[in-house]
Structure 1
Amino acid sequence: MSFEDVADAIPGGTWLDDLARASARAAHAKFERPSRSALLRVSMLDSPRMDAYAFSDISRALQDATAKVGHIVRNPQGEITYVQPADREKAPLLQRGQAGNALFFGFPETSDPDALINDGIETLSERAVKELCDFLPINGSDDGALDAVLLQRDTIRNAVSDVVSAVTKTSSLGLTLTPTAGEEVTRSMTTEQARVLHNSLRESREDVGYETVTGRLDGVRTRRRIFYLERDTGSTIQGAVVPDLLDQIKVNLDRPVTARLRVVRTTTIDGRRGRPVYELLDIHGETSLFD
């Protein structure tokens, strides 16, 4: 009788019964379950010879995408569109080697000496790669996968966009993930699929808002109708000026003011945000104790 059978045979629902079942399943995982080292193989499909720059683009894209997906696996409520060093540290994808037009990636070892189970444990990196593969096409005819990407949350769209950008610049890819346990996962992305997704993901939307800020009116270019406002926090805003305000701006130069701004923020579908664009709608001088 195996430890798994022992766990299944334990009756009852008390905390002691739950503890006994958990102990038996832990023993099964440590002593009986076959395990292997997870491996991701990435093949370039278009060209018999690829240069080092192409391999670097592919490697960096997959590592960034893995770190982004790993972030939301750890923190499902948090969205990111730029990789932070902490994300790479927590979900690293380790390049193990290269053979011909194939790259091989591994995952961190679970080697805590105090752990009850070391072998057969899925790491955060492996889970992230599995989830990334869920959103990649199965083959060159899988148009449904392309549509599905556009319906995902920002971080997933952005992670897939990393892969798309690399494929667009280099070669069609074939990915084979051999997980710690379970069946192999195979995915691919052709350069044509990448071009279609690239165009879709770079479509943008504009969000318009309004802000009231205080600071010092630092300068103005009358001909170009551009103002410069130094916030109380120290940062500087520059933007367009409504023509009717030019005279009022000249009166308030180098003085504390309260400004009403129109702010336009552009965001692409893959979550990349452009710089905000400001337009000055109204301005009032602040009364100083020395006036």
Structure 2
Amino acid sequence: MNPFSEARRRHENTGGFGAALVHASLEAAERKFFPRPESRLIVDIDGAPVTPYDSARITMAVIDATAMFGRSLMDPQSPVTNVHPAHRSKVGLISAGSFGNSLHFTFPDCDTESDPVLFVDHVQTLAEAAAWSLVESLPRAVDDDDALDAVLSLPVTQRRGIEHLVNAVESTTRSLGVSVAMADGAGVSSTLSKLQADVLKDSLMESRSHARIITEHGILDGMRTRRRIFYLEREDMPVLHGSIADELIADLPKYLSKKVVATLEETTIQRASGVIGRPTYRLIRIKLEYPENELFSHIDI
């Protein structure tokens, strides 16, 4: 039994400076005597025992990729193409060493000392959010081709983040399994195989040729829409799929299996050879085609 947690719950509805100090003291005592499980980012590397070079190369790629996703979350309207020390410092992903062929990373604690009133059981840090977003953007399995397409429609900062991992797989010829295990028990896992890295390597080197905003009507497939990939079923037309803007992910479940109006960013890419590739799509806005309070307003009675 954790007496400090019980005491914090008894004081959670009290206010004032004195209550904040009590809460802060109980929080500090709980952390000391009842340490909580740590959230972790874990990278499993296939093949023979990992060499120091491979370990260092992949570790740096993971830190840089997470830093780029963190930068994208902080300022999605200002894309960057190169990782800087300030990006790594701001996200603060911590290399916790290797265990066999697994690399472990931990996350910095929340800065709760500056405002003890804000103490809660757990506040997601920028590093945790960035790592989760990174892992969700990678393929779920070796045959997840739709996820490879979706990567190409990600914001440029996130694409460059994934490119760091792709380059690490290319240079070490190692496939990776990447997972995040949160302190609260939540988790997500993905893979980046050598073959997937080869495909993405060619695609990420392509230059963007044209982007436009389009509006499509259809049903958001509730069976296939997952993680960061949407599927829009259109009447008598091919299904569209692609990535989902970060700000839409939390609200997207309420649109599943319903008729929607989707605003998409359609991007056509051009390879260095001049060949035009197929368009990719990113869902940037969505609304119900018939809002519930207007569901029958268009029917004459």
Shorter chain as denominator, the TM-score bin is 0.5 to 0.7
Residue number in structure 2 paired with 1:60 = 60
Residue number in structure 2 paired with 1:37 = 38
Residue number in structure 1 paired with 2:72 = 72
1:255-286 per-residue CA deviation (whole Å, 9 max, x = no partner) reads xxxxxxxxxxxx999xxxxxxxxxxxxxxxxx
Distance 2:78 2:137 in 1: 19
C-alpha deviation, 1:176, in angstroms? 1.9
Distance 1:125 1:268 in 2: 33
Residue number in structure 2 paired with 1:117 = 119
Amino acid at match of 2:178: L
Q: Tell me: CA distance 1:268–1:90, structure 2 relative to 1, closer, same or farther (3 Å).
A: farther
Per the alignment, in what secondary structure is the counterpart of residue 120 of structure 1? coil
C-alpha deviation, 1:62, in angstroms? 0.8
CA contact (8 A) 1:110 1:119 kept: no
Distance 1:80 1:129 in 2: 18
For residue 151 of structure 1, the aligned residue among 119, 140, 153 is 153
CA contact (8 A) 2:98 2:104 kept: yes
Q: Tell me: CA distance 1:142–1:107, structure 2 relative to 1, closer, same or farther (3 Å).
A: same
C-alpha deviation, 1:196, in angstroms? 0.5
Distance 1:183 1:110 in 2: 18
Is residue 95 from structure 1 mapped to residue 95 from structure 2 by the alignment?
A: yes
Corresponding pairs, count: 195
Per the alignment, in what secondary structure is the counterpart of residue 86 of structure 1? helix
Residue number in structure 2 paired with 1:186 = 189
C-alpha deviation, 1:57, in angstroms? 1.1
Distance 1:201 1:180 in 2: 34
TM-score (norm. length: structure 1): 0.58
Gaps of 5+ in 2: 1-5, 211-268, 272-301
Residue number in structure 2 paired with 1:223 = none
Aligned pairs for 1:1-291 (under 5 A) are 36-45=37-46, 47-110=47-110, 112-113=112-113, 114-115=115-116, 116-117=118-119, 119-170=121-172, 171-205=174-208
C-alpha deviation, 1:118, in angstroms? 6.4
State the percentage of identical aligned residues. Answer: 35
Distance 1:64 1:127 in 2: 15
1:237-266 per-residue CA deviation (whole Å, 9 max, x = no partner) reads xxxxxxxxxxxxxxxxxxxxxxxxxxxxxx
C-alpha deviation, 1:73, in angstroms? 1.2
CA contact (8 A) 1:66 1:92 kept: no
TM-score (norm. length: structure 2): 0.56
Distance 2:57 2:106 in 1: 18
C-alpha deviation, 1:48, in angstroms? 1.9
